[in-house]
Amino acid sequence: MANHVLGICTECTKTNGEEFCLECEVILCSKCKLSHLKRKSNKKHHVDKSYSKILDKRPSCLIHSKEVVFYCGSCCLLICPSCMLEKHKQHDVDEIENAVSKKKEGISSEIVDLESRSENVKQIVDDLNVFEEAYKIDNAILKKVIKVRGDTLKALIDKHTETLVERVTLEESSQMTRKSEEVYKLEDIKLLCDLQIERLKGSLQNTKDIDILLSYGEWEEDVQHVKTREISEFKPIPPIRFLEPGKDEDTINELFGAVEIGFFKLQEGDHVRIKLSVTEPINGWGDVTHDSIGTVRGGNIGSIWIGASDAGKQDWRWAFDLSKITYSLFNPGQPDNGGNVEGCLELRSELGYKWNDFPCSSTNSYVCESQQEKEANLINEIKASLNKMQENMKGVLQMVEKLEVNIKEKSNICRKGWKEYKDHCYIYQSDKKSWRMAEEQCRTMGGYLVKIEDVSEHNWVVTNIKDGNLGSTWIGASDVGKQDWRWAFDLSKVKYSLWNPGQPDNGGNVEGCLELRSVFGYKWNDFPCSSTNSYVCESQQVILIIISIRTLGD
């Protein structure tokens, strides 16, 4: 073997050095080696050509200048014999060769574990990629089902909307026809009155006194004829209102349906349609129960993983939803967590496919479970439900068209907690709300923020506010930022008012809602709508109607 050139000779600094003095730690050429060893001080030095010995030359102890021969595991230090006797007697001390051997074994073991872990991770990634495609297909089907459901409900809602709008239109047309008839009658009466007035005025001016007496009876008869024509009083047309149902998420879910993230679990007696992934390929699908899971089309596949683990805590849960296992069929003596490494669940072939805990890093065949067939059944069920809903809706619409309502008894009352005043009901609320929240709360209760139309109503409302110690109180008018004050109930202009002097002033350009200000003696004041006050709700008296409903087909 050729000598290994270590570098330039330290002595002559010219020739390549191939040898090394272990004591002096210098590189020497063959010529300088001889002169080096001839010196009295160097006679016992060791000059060696072995490169491995040179590399393995151990360092000296920094304290005692002796070669280190031990390794202290407690301190992670290389030490000499003197160091061991002085400071490391009670420590984990081993010879360097033994310590190195143990460290190498540990590193090799870690490499094996990491390689196994890497392979397991790779397998999981591969499985996830395979699952992804099937998962996306299933979700694509589900999205179509949801869209079909939505389109169907949209069509039903559109039809119902048209029906309600048409109903309002018909009612409006009916009321306008009635109004036109009343106006025609009243205009006819007015015309007769005007003609008689003109005739009587002319007679008074142009008729002789004697003729007035002779004609008076005829004139009186004509006047009485006009006066007997009935003049109907003006009666406001009752408003048409839309009664809004609940709009919370539960109501929407009840009507539309909701997405539920759920999976199958292995339960006693379950019979599921599954596809197997095994070490040996199996063609086709297998119908598998617990009793027959070891024998699938294609032959015996040995022990099988199923989807539960205990996370090292003997707390067995299903992997897909982390729910606790309620049904189990463990082999007697299992689970035993043998070697403290058995944390995954298998159906053990040697145990008659009873349950057994087993190391998760071991390899088995395995069973994958899918919801695909149940989703197909769900689609069919939804379609059937939609068809049935459409038929029911048609029946309901036909029934509504045929309903006859017979009013048998009517009485006017205020609900519990409301106070009556001149055919209206009032309730006084002490909880503080913004103006808009107060109006919304009144609407929810079947009323509206109070509309004050005269001084007597104002005084009655204020008296009750004082009795309830409510302080400043919202009433139902706002100006929408335009100083055009209107009542929220029917958007009519405010005619009667009792403003505090200097009000409304729209202070800071933000005061757009109407309150009864306590410090102003409950006179009217404009105030920011976002502020909070007590409030008064008003409603028309409840009309209790006992009705009998029958269809024309009954």
pLDDT per residue over 156-204, tens digit each?
888 888 888 888 888 888 788 878 878 878 888 888 888 878 888 887 8
- What is the per-residue pLDDT for 404? 41
* pLDDT surpasses 90 at 254: no
Give residue 225's pLDDT band: very low, low, confident or very high (50, 70, 90). confident
Q: Which residue has the higher pLDDT, 261 or 230?
A: 230
- What is the per-residue pLDDT for 271? 31
Q: Which residue has the higher pLDDT, 266 or 180?
A: 180
Q: Which residue has the higher pLDDT, 135 or 439?
A: 439
* pLDDT surpasses 70 at 286: no
Tell me the percentage of the chain whose pLDDT exceeds 90.
Answer: 17
Please tell me whether residue 472 adopts helix, strand or coil conformation.
Answer: coil
Interior/surface letters 40-69, b for 16+ CB within 10 angstroms, e for the rest: eeeeeeebeeeeeebeeeeeebeeeeeebb
Q: Which residue has the higher pLDDT, 243 or 448?
A: 448
Distance between CA 111 and CA 106 in Å, rounded? 9
Give me the phi and psi of 146, to 5 degrees please.
-65, -40
Helices 96-206 and 249-256 meet at what angle, rounded to 10? Answer: 90
Q: What is the pLDDT of residues 289-303, one digit of tens each?
A: 343 343 433 345 778
The token pair that represents 306 in the structure block: 């199923």
- What is the per-residue pLDDT for 542? 55
Residue among 214, 98, 156, 128 nearest 394 (CA): 156
Tell me the percentage of the chain whose pLDDT exceeds 70.
Answer: 74
- What is the per-residue pLDDT for 538? 94
Over residues 29-42, mean pLDDT: 86
Please tell me whether residue 363 adopts helix, strand or coil conformation.
Answer: coil
**Helical (H) or strand (E) element with 385:** helix 372-402
- What is the per-residue pLDDT for 411? 43
Over residues 263-276, mean pLDDT: 36
Q: Are 17 and 30 a contacting pair, CB within 8 Å?
A: no
Domain ranges within the chain, ordered by starting residue: 7-96, 105-227, 272-370, 376-403, 419-547
Distance between CA 347 and CA 305 in Å, rounded? 6
Give residue 56's pLDDT band: very low, low, confident or very high (50, 70, 90). low
- What is the per-residue pLDDT for 287? 35
CB-neighbour burial class of residue 456 (10 A; exposed 0-12, middle 13-18, buried 19+): exposed
- What is the per-residue pLDDT for 378? 59
Q: Which residue has the higher pLDDT, 333 or 323?
A: 333
Q: What is the pLDDT of residues 348-380, one digit of tens each?
A: 888 888 999 998 888 888 887 765 555 556 556
- What is the per-residue pLDDT for 264? 38
Q: What is the pLDDT of residues 476-534, one digit of tens each?
A: 998 865 678 989 888 788 999 999 999 999 888 888 899 999 999 999 999 998 899 99
Give residue 49's pLDDT band: very low, low, confident or very high (50, 70, 90). low
Distance of CA 43 to the CA centre of its chain: 89
pLDDT mean across residues, the chain: 76
- What is the per-residue pLDDT for 514? 94
Helices 96-206 and 209-227 meet at what angle, rounded to 10? Answer: 150
Answer left, alpha or beta for residue 312, where phi above 0 means left and psi between -120 and 50 means alpha: left
Give residue 421's pLDDT band: very low, low, confident or very high (50, 70, 90). very high
Which superfamily does CATH assign the domain made up of 7-96 to? Classic Zinc Finger (3.30.160.60)
Q: What is the pLDDT of residues 116-155, one digit of tens each?
A: 888 888 888 888 887 787 778 878 887 888 888 788 888 8
In DSSP terms, 7 is beta-bridged to 17
Residue type, 22: L
Residue among 114, 127, 116 nearest 319 (CA): 127
pTM for the full predicted model: 0.30
The token pair that represents 225 in the structure block: 């004829």
Q: Please compute Rg for the chain using Cα positions.
A: 50
- What is the per-residue pLDDT for 299? 45
Domains 7-96 and 419-547 belong to one CATH topology: no
Distance between CA 402 and CA 255 in Å, rounded? 26
Distance between CA 357 and CA 368 in Å, rounded? 19
Was domain 419-547 assigned CATH 3.60.10.10? no
**CATH, domain 272-370, list 2.40.50.140, 1.10.260.30, 3.20.20.70, 3.10.100.10:** 3.10.100.10
- What is the per-residue pLDDT for 6? 63
